[in-house]
Structure formats: structure tokens, C-alpha cells
């Protein structure tokens, strides 16, 4: 059997949430052996996400973990001030480790873990690329870091440095969307998680540092020459007219 791809997605309530999760779930429907771990940034599971998952046709696990108030980006804060989705990704990891321990048989360590934010754009091919991950695999990410793409630079089949516009000296100067980790490695390192206190740009490194060295990274996507995932961001919809109608008691209720 193919190794399962476990996809961990943090998500939070806002106007575009249902649209984002609809697009994502319909991409994932095209991917065989995918298990979607959705972690809501909420004090409980919401009906919107519950309903969407039930109707999705996907294999999934529905979790929630509210971001602590002092960790949460406030309205008006610049988006780089605090990392987002940290506690949710860690909750996904916690669930995986616990669940896999409980699964009987030798098959319970077969798999790959990928962190997929709900607003990015994923080519189907990236899931087939990552499926053969032995430890940590890497590939380019489009439209990120103020660049057309960031990517690991490969020479002689090995990653030798990173093409990035900012602090290339970081241990792993890569976006979350640019790597996958084998389930075996995640289980063998029960302490590995994302450090929400890590300085800006070091979140990915905080997780990967304990798991691999640059030398061990497995380049995918044709030696990291193809962009198969994009760090797209969705514009916040303007609600000017809606608010005007609401003031007259005529707003839409959903």
C-alpha cells in the first residue's frame, strides 16, 4: 500500500474560511491515501467546519486548539509580528503521535506528514513527490518571502544552500509549505514541535532543527527546479455595503 499522507491544516473563522476549506478539500479529494487533520483555532469544534468535513468525502480528523490570547495577532498588527497556526500544528502533531501509538501492526509508522495552510495553492503532483519521503523532503514554494519563489539549491543531488531573499543563514530558511517529514521521524522525535516564541522567520527551523541536517534533505520536484505549491493569500473581502444594510436591519444573516 502507498504510505498515507497526513496533512495538518490550521484554520480559523473568518468570512473566507468556508471558501478556503472548500477549495482545499476538493483538491485533496484528488489525492489517494490522504488523511486530513484539521485543527480549528477555536475553543470548540464549530458547526461550519464539522459540516464541511462530514460532507467532504475525505478521511479526516477534526481537532481544535485555541491560540492563547497573548500569542494571537490582533486586528491592526502587522502580519509578521507573530507566527500563526503554531499551536494548531502542534496539536495535530500531538494527536498523530498518540493515535499512531494506539494503532496495532507494523504499518502504523508508514506515512508522511505535511503542513498545509488553508489559503495556499497545491498542485496534485506535490503529494506524489512527498509520498516517498524517507526523513525530510524539500521543494520550492512560489510567491513567498517577497520573491517569485524560494527554493533549496541542489548540487550533485544534495541541497547545498537556499535561494531566499532574507537571512539565508537561518538553519532552514524555508516556508512551511516547502517540506514534508516522514511519520517515522516524527514518532522517533516526540519532542519536536513548532516554537511559537522563535524569532520571526525561525518557526520552520525550530521544528526541523532537531530532526535533520541540510545534508540529509531529500530534494523533490525535479531537484527543486519546479514550483508545485504557492503561498497564495486571500484578500480580505470588503463588507462596506453589507455593513450599511446591517445598520438598516437588512443585512444577510450568513
Cβ(239)–Cβ(247) below 8 Å:
no
Q: Is 25 in the site for ligand UDP (CB under 6 A)?
A: no
Q: 236 near 211, Cβ under 8 Å?
A: no
Q: How far is the CB of 99 from ligand UDP (least distance, A)?
A: 21
Q: If binding means CB under 6 A, how many residues of this protein chain bind ligand UDP? A: 16
Q: Is 151 in the site for ligand UDP (CB under 6 A)?
A: no
- Comparing CB distances to ligand UDP, the nearer of 83 and 111 is 83
Q: Which is nearer to ligand UDP, 16 or 187 (CB)?
A: 16
Total residues belonging to the chain: 254
* C-alpha span between 103 and 241 (Å, rounded): 52
Residue given cell 532543527 in the structure block: 209
If DSSP codes are grouped into helix, strand and coil, which group holds residue 160?
A: strand
Strand blocks (E) in 55-213: 59-64, 112-115, 121-122, 136-138, 141-144, 147-155, 158-163, 179-182
Comparison of 88 and 184: residue with beta carbon closer to ligand UDP: 88
129 assigned to active site: no
Of the candidates 206, 198, 193, which has an alpha carbon nearest to the alpha carbon of residue 93?
193
147 forms beta bridges with 144
- The least CB distance from residue 14 to Mn ion, in Å, is 12
List Cα–Cα distances, 155 to 54, 161, 206, 208, in angstroms.
Answer: 45, 9, 25, 21
Among residues 118, 150, 204, 218, the one that binds ligand UDP under rule CB under 6 A: 118
Does 23 engage in binding with ligand UDP (CB under 6 A)?
no
Q: Which stretch binds ligand UDP (CB under 6 A): 46-54, 72-80, 98-106, 201-209?
A: 72-80
> Of the candidates 25, 88, 133, 137, which one interacts with ligand UDP according to CB under 6 A?
88
Cβ proximity to ligand UDP: between 6 and 184 the closer is 6
Q: Considering the candidates 191, 204, 218, 243, report the single residue annotated as catalytic.
A: 204
Name the nearest CA neighbour of 10 among 122, 85, 107, 99: 85
Question: If contact means CB under 5 to 8 A according to the sort of partner, which of ligand UDP, Mn ion, none does residue 63 touch?
Answer: none
Decide: is 84 part of the binding site for ligand UDP (CB under 6 A): yes
Strands across the sheet with 59-64, in order?
59-64, 34-40, 5-11, 112-115, 179-182, 136-138, 218-219
Q: Is 117 in the site for Mn ion (CB under 5 A)?
A: yes
The one among 90, 114, 117, 126 contacting ligand UDP by CB under 6 A: 117
Instruction: Find which of Mn ion, ligand UDP, none residue 118 binds, CB within 5 to 8 Å per kind.
Output: ligand UDP
- All three cell numbers of 5: 499522507
Catalytic sites, residue numbers: 204
Residues that bind ligand UDP (CB under 6 A): 9-12, 41, 67, 72-73, 79, 84-85, 88, 117-119, 233
Amino acid at each position: 500500500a502507498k504510505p498515507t499522507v497526513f496533512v495538518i491544516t490550521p484554520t480559523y473563522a473568518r468570512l473566507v474560511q468556508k471558501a478556503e476549506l472548500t477549495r482545499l478539500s476538493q483538491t485533496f479529494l484528488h489525492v489517494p491515501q490522504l488523511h486530513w487533520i484539521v485543527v480549528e483555532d477555536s475553543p470548540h469544534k464549530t458547526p461550519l467546519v464539522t459540516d464541511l468535513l462530514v460532507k467532504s468525502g475525505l478521511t479526516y480528523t477534526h481537532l481544535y486548539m485555541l491560540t492563547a490570547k497573548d500569542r494571537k495577532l490582533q486586528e491592526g498588527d502587522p502580519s509578521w509580528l507573530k507566527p500563526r497556526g503554531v499551536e494548531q500544528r502542534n496539536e495535530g502533531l500531538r494527536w498523530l503521535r498518540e493515535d499512531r501509538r494506539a494503532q496495532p501492526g507494523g504499518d502504523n509508522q508508514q506515512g508522511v506528514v505535511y503542513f498545509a495552510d488553508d489559503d495556499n495553492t497545491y498542485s496534485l503532483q506535490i503529494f506524489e513527490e512527498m509520498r516517498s519521503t524517507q526523513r525530510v523532503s524539500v521543494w520550492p514554494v512560489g510567491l513567498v518571502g517577497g520573491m517569485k519563489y524560494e527554493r533549496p539549491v541542489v548540487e550533485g543531488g544534495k541541497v547545498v544552500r537556499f535561494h531566499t531573499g532574507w537571512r539565508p543563514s537561518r538553519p532552514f530558511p524555508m516556508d512551511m509549505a516547502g517540506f514534508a517529514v516522514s511519520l517515522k521521524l516524527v514518532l522517533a522525535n516526540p519532542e519536536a514541535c513548532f516554537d511559537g516564541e522563535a524569532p520571526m522567520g525561525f518557526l520552520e527551523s525550530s521544528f526541523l532543527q532537531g530532526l535533520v541536517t541540510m545534508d540529509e534533505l531529500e530534494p523533490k520536484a525535479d531537484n527543486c527546479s519546479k514550483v508545485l505549491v504557492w503561498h497564495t493569500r486571500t484578500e480580505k473581502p470588503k463588507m462596506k455595503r453589507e455593513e450599511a444594510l446591517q445598520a438598516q436591519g437588512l443585512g444577510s444573516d450568513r
